[in-house]
Chain A
Amino acid sequence: MFEVDRDALFAIEQLNKAYARCLDDDRLEDWPDFFLEDGRYLIQSRENRDAGLYGYILYFENKGMMRDRVKSLRVANYYNLHIDRHLITNVDIVGAADGVLDALANYAVIQTDAEGRSELFSAGEYHDRIVFVDGVPRFKERLVLLDTANVVGLLAVPL
């Protein structure tokens, strides 16, 4: 049985809280800094993963691609006016090897449109690979595994 390091778990819970607050506060420019420079951010449906397929909705294999995303959302793209509310729970560490922690969390994102209507936008699971750099946890990889594989409207802001 894998024994969870309580200090590491607490730090990862704090990481998830800060991540949620960053996105919900629309501080997108800060979002890439939760990742290592060669960190990966992937969004994939459970349907594709279970079938052994790729099918990524977003496939970012380094932090530069995340900075590109934020810049594009700021200067180029038109997308739905909304606010996000991330609810992250069941944070756990499920494995550790070679200085990398494997962590899981459940998430739900409630979106509220420009006229104040709130709807569940996405539910799923974070599959994380986390490295501590100078005592601070950073994502080596965050895979957003979508239960809500049928995206309604569009997905602009990271989950």
Chain B
Amino acid sequence: MHGADGHHDTRDNSGGLVWPAEGFGRVPFELFTDPAIHVREDERLFRGPHWSYLGLEVELPNPGDYTTGYVGATPYILVRAEDGGLRAMVNRCAHRGAEVVREPRGNARGFTCIYHNWSYDREGRLTGVPWEAGRDGVGGYGPGFDKAQHRLQPLKVAAHAGVVFGSFADEPPPLADYLGPAIAERLAAVFARPVMVTGYQRHTIRANWKLLYENSRDLYHAPQLHKFFGAFGIVQPQQDARAEMWHEGTHCLATIWQDKSGRKKRIKLEEPGVATERSSLPDDIAISIIGIFPNCLFTLVGSAFSVRQFRPKAPDRFEVLYTYFTYADDPACLREHLLQNNQFGPAGYVAMEDAEVVEKLQARIALGADKGASLLAMDGGDTTPDRIDHMVTEANLRSMWRGYARFMGFAPPDPRADLAAG
């Protein structure tokens, strides 16, 4: 099922998965539990014709600055080259496959594998091989050995508004087209001011990665699950919301504008600064959540900004690397950021419940209910629109599954069965 050589039958080409006839209002649980689907996602999504988030330009101001991370299962190094451009390469030695860079980030002239001291420059080119031509007249790799044939595998790199993406595709689409105009403009507006990285946070969640990626655009759950706002009299600006989808529905730009109704309640927190009273975001935006398929999620609230990089590890386990940032040109932003960030991350007043709910969901669907399916029928049953202007919906989740199914090569829901059921 892993190739497209034309010799597999239809079932194998579709990954063995037939979408329920009801359409994208149903999501089969096996998408969250099947090891073969986990492998297929790495091939088709993370190593496929998509752009994955690698980092922020502000993390790498100087030549030689590097960070490391993962695109799906593949480790990478992102480095600032001599010419000021960014390069990305697989963090795996061309010799035996050992990890080359062991520190999460730093500055280096080049990179040397500890195993046999093969060394690479900042472009990922192999520059040094001990005993390449033998030693004391014996051994060595011989005259036919060409270092140029053995380099760290490169990724394509592109940046938009200081946000850096990488792709394993030979000819990925232009990044701006991939992001789509709404997300490209939002990122440009948010990053029009200088930002500072305030820290990192690693988080392991014992669930399928797609459950959290889906949760991040789920406008239905927010007031139902997260009681923090209601309990402390924090007015949530939920009058004016929009979800815009792109990349076959898999990206989602969710925007909630500041509440202009004049509703005022006394915040019952002893430290009201934890709640978001002032937004640093442009255009009267209170909250902007940007999911960029397949591995990137921006959460922009008040002055508490983060970008999360998703790293699937198994069908029922993934890690998130948070990069926290805020505006560097307004000193008030830093304290607001630190106070408001208590809402987010693995201990966050709001975010803790998302981790809890997806872990408990995973535990239930793994306990023999794997032939079941999730129900996402609110607001239109099986429609998959590219724009929604309210919060009382699951349609933007369905749109995500439409694109996911297409990128994974799954057979689409049978339209005749759908008509018969309707």
Contacts and interface: CB of A to CB of B under 8 A. Distances in A.
Nearest to B270: A64
Contact of B356 (A44, A67, A149, A154): A154
Given A56-B338, A68-B269, A72-B228, A77 B202 contact: no
Interface in B330-355: 334, 338-339, 341-342, 345-347, 349, 352-353, 355
A1 interface: no
A150 B356 contact: no
Interface residues of B, number: 39
Q: Which 5 A-B pairs have CB atoms at the shortest separation, nearest pair first?
A: A55-B199, A64-B270, A76-B231, A151-B346, A150-B202
A10 interface: no
A58 B324 contact: no
Interface stretch (B134-142, B177-185, B203-211): B203-211
B319 A79 contact: no
B383 interface: no
Contacts of B338: 54, 56, 59
A43 B199 CA distance: 12
B349 A65 contact: no
Interface string A38-72: 00000111011001011111111110110110011
A48 B199 CA distance: 6
Given A45-B200, A153-B205, 13 more contacts: A54-B199, A54-B324, A55-B200, A57-B347, A65-B274, A65-B342, A68-B232, A68-B271, A153-B206, A153-B356, A154-B347, A154-B352, A155-B352
Contacts of A48: 199-200
Give the secondary structure class of A's interface: mixed
Contacts of B259: none
B349 A53 contact: no
Chain A, interface residues (CB within 8 Å), range = 35 or more
A77 B352 contact: yes
A97 interface: no
A79 to B, nearest CB: 6
A156 B274 CA distance: 16
Nearest to B231: A76
Contact of A151 (B203, B228, B270, B339): B203
17 contacts: A43-B347, A54-B198, A55-B199, A56-B341, A64-B271, A65-B271, A68-B232, A71-B231, A76-B228, A77-B227, A77-B353, A79-B352, A80-B356, A150-B202, A150-B204, A154-B346, A155-B352
Interface of B: 104-105, 197-206, 225, 227-228, 230-232, 269-271, 274, 319, 324, 334, 338-339, 341-342, 345-347, 349, 352-353, 355-357, 359
B105 to A, nearest CB: 8
Nearest to A59: B338
Give the secondary structure class of B's interface: mixed
Contacts of B232: 68, 72, 76
Contact of A153 (B105, B269, B355): B355
Interface of A: 43-45, 47-48, 51, 53-62, 64-65, 67-68, 71-72, 75-80, 149-156
Contacts of B206: 152-153
A21 B353 CA distance: 26
Contacts of B339: 59, 61
Question: B104, B202, B225, B319: which has the most chain A beta carbons within 10 Å?
Answer: B202
